[in-house]
Structure 1
Amino acid sequence: MAPGRRDACRVRGAAGTCAAAQAALCKVTAGHRQLVLQLGGSADGPRLREERCRRSAEARELSTGLRHALLAGLRQVPVSPEERQELERLWVLFLSALELFLQDLCRAHHLCQLFSTQGGGGAPLRTGLGGRGPPGRKGSRRGGGPTQPPATPRLEEEIEQVRATLAEMESRANIPLWTVEATQPVETGSTAAPEARAAQWGPRTGHCCRVL
């Protein structure tokens, strides 16, 4: 195979690998968001929080692999403008997914501070219908659980890891976000995140955005 064709296959392979990883990341972070939204509710408990931790770890592992793959692809000599644009598009989608994931981690941290599962296996949400006594009586709880238990160290570590990944991506790949514009109209009534739908469409058809 000629050197030029070998280079083209290598870059196209990198873009395809990154697109698949991006789709997997969006799927995992979407599942993580659903778990975060249940914190403090009737479905909350140790099992839900352990599942949230597992999903978070999976998302962070995917982020690490995708970061390395994207940076490696962007540092190579571009074979064609189209392949370079595809890698840049995936880089912007990756940043967007990480930012949303970081927001969910911060939300989970806040909710875990408000609702603690320590001291019992029941759901931390209290509706006031459980016969715990009138408000103001010594020993009664309003709203359920301690108002401000200590922050979860594991969540703080997760947040710092994602922030470090974002900072590294922004500093090591000089791709202005304003160079990417949307090409797909927003679908009304859809609950999926735009970057999740974009990743599922694949690297060559149905792009939600393109590099200017």
Structure 2
Amino acid sequence: MAPGQREVCRARGTAGRCAAAQAALCKATAGHRLLVLQLGGSSDSLGLREERGRRSTEARELSTGLRRMLLDGLQQAAAASEERRELEQLWVLFLSALELFLQDLHRAHHLCQLFSSQRGDTAPLHTGLRGQQGGGPTPPPHALSLEEEMEQVRAMLVEMESRVNIPLWTVEATQLEGTASSMARVAQEEPHTGPCCRVL
């Protein structure tokens, strides 16, 4: 295989891996949003808050890996190539997903301040329904606070926007077929949250 062909195959492989990582990130952030929407409700509990923290950690880890893959792919892909355009589309989708994730972290922070769990492991609202109380493992000692989670995601957004100069208006307003279908699957699997890039 000629060197040029190897570069094309590598770039296409990177775009495919990035699309798969983007789909996984959408699923993780959709699950996180579903948990955030239950904060302060009848199913709120220490277990739910611990699960929200685990989902947030998963989303942040996926974001870190996807950011690295996209940066590497964009640095290798030729400026006018089809692979470059695909990676730029994924970059914009990634920015949108991170911004929505940050909004959900802000919402979680606000709700956790309104409905503190300091009073014990009981739901703050009593409607006759009871969520599963406790039962989950305690968070690890190094678990981040919500303020630290928000700062980490905010710093990632700033870094992404400064590391790669992709004006959003230059990216075609179309989705990769694989990305679009994976987002549709996420919407079906998480019916209460909708697509990962929809603002509530």
- By the TM > 0.5 criterion, same fold? yes
**CA distance in structure 1 between the aligned counterparts of 2:105 and 2:79, rounded to whole angstroms:** 38
Instruction: Note if contact 2:97-2:196 (Cα within 8 Å) is conserved in structure 1.
Output: no
Q: Is 1:158 aligned with 2:149?
A: yes
- 2:70 aligned partner: 70
Q: 1:175 aligns with which of 166, 180, 189?
A: 166
Q: How does 1:70-89 map to 2 (within 5 A)?
A: 70-78=70-78, 81-89=81-89
**CA distance in structure 2 between the aligned counterparts of 1:28 and 1:109, rounded to whole angstroms:** 18
CA drift at 1:119: 2.6
AA in 1 matched with 2:162: S
User: Which has the larger Rg?
Assistant: 1
**CA distance in structure 2 between the aligned counterparts of 1:20 and 1:6, rounded to whole angstroms:** 21
Identity of aligned residues (%): 73
CA drift at 1:175: 0.3
**CA distance in structure 1 between the aligned counterparts of 2:156 and 2:110, rounded to whole angstroms:** 21
AA in 2 matched with 1:52: R
Which shows bigger deviation, 48-57 or 110-119? 110-119
Instruction: Give the match's secondary structure for 1:44.
Output: coil
**CA distance in structure 2 between the aligned counterparts of 1:11 and 1:76, rounded to whole angstroms:** 7
Work out the number of aligned pairs and report it. 168
Instruction: Note if contact 2:28-2:55 (Cα within 8 Å) is conserved in structure 1.
Output: yes
- 2:38 aligned partner: 38
Instruction: Note if contact 1:78-1:84 (Cα within 8 Å) is conserved in structure 2.
Output: yes
Instruction: Note if contact 2:105-2:146 (Cα within 8 Å) is conserved in structure 1.
Output: yes
Structure 2: unaligned runs, 5 residues or longer: 129-143, 176-183, 185-190
Go from structure 1 to structure 2 and tell me whether the alpha carbon gap of 1:181 and 1:78 turns closer, same or farther (over 3 Å shift): closer
Instruction: Note if contact 1:60-1:162 (Cα within 8 Å) is conserved in structure 2.
Output: yes
Which one has more relative contact order, counting CA pairs under 8 Å at least 6 apart?
Answer: 2
Structure 1: unaligned runs, 5 residues or longer: 130-152, 197-212
Q: Which structure features the higher share of helix residues? A: 2
CA drift at 1:195: 3.9
**CA distance in structure 2 between the aligned counterparts of 1:80 and 1:9, rounded to whole angstroms:** 16
**CA distance in structure 2 between the aligned counterparts of 1:27 and 1:97, rounded to whole angstroms:** 10
Q: How does 1:198-209 map to 2 (within 5 A)?
A: none
CA drift at 1:4: 1.1
AA in 2 matched with 1:68: R
**CA distance in structure 1 between the aligned counterparts of 2:107 and 2:22, rounded to whole angstroms:** 23
**CA distance in structure 2 between the aligned counterparts of 1:27 and 1:78, rounded to whole angstroms:** 30
CA drift at 1:16: 0.6
Instruction: Note if contact 1:22-1:66 (Cα within 8 Å) is conserved in structure 2.
Output: yes
AA in 1 matched with 2:152: Q
Which shows bigger deviation, 21-30 or 153-162? 153-162
**CA distance in structure 2 between the aligned counterparts of 1:97 and 1:54, rounded to whole angstroms:** 18
